[in-house]
Amino acid sequence: MPKPRRSAALCAAVLLAGVLGAACGGEGGSTAKAPKAFCQAAYDYEQELSKQLEKGEKNATRQLALVEKMAAHAPKKISADVNEFATRIRQVMDDPSLAKDKKFQDEGKAVVDRINQYASNGCGLFKQDPNSGI
């Protein structure tokens, strides 16, 4: 069943790509400093997603592993959203038709928007020099 997984991965990445672009402005939200381990995991995820989008090689399994790494280090303020994001990736992997469900997409976008806003503000994620580390 590689084809459905690839389709699911593409759908998940496309959903997230739009959200990542929207979050780059880092408007609003908390200015509290996020834990370094969470910031590193968020940075790793963003880098992986960028590579996948650039190459056109979507890998939901790899994305999920990185989101789970974020969840393991997420502070309480964002933990529920990161766990929900991981759950949604699993759901799309199991049922690719969810990627076409507008309500599912809208709810997922809201979750990812909150994660991106937290990472942007708490980690300076989208303001960093990629060569400087976190």
Is residue 104 in a domain? yes
| pLDDT tens digits for range 60-109 | 899 999 999 999 999 999 999 999 999 999 999 999 999 889 999 999 99
Place of tokens 């709810």: 107
Nearest to 55 by CA among 6, 91, 97: 6
Is residue 14 in a domain? yes
Range of the domain at 47: 2-22+39-126
| pLDDT tens digits for range 109-133 | 999 999 999 998 888 766 544 444 4
Q: Is 56 exposed, middle or buried (0-12, 13-18, 19+ CB in 10 A)?
A: exposed
Per the structure, how many domains does the chain have?
A: 1
Is residue 68 in a domain? yes
Is residue 29 in a domain? no
- pLDDT for residue 33: 83
pLDDT of 58 strictly over 90? no
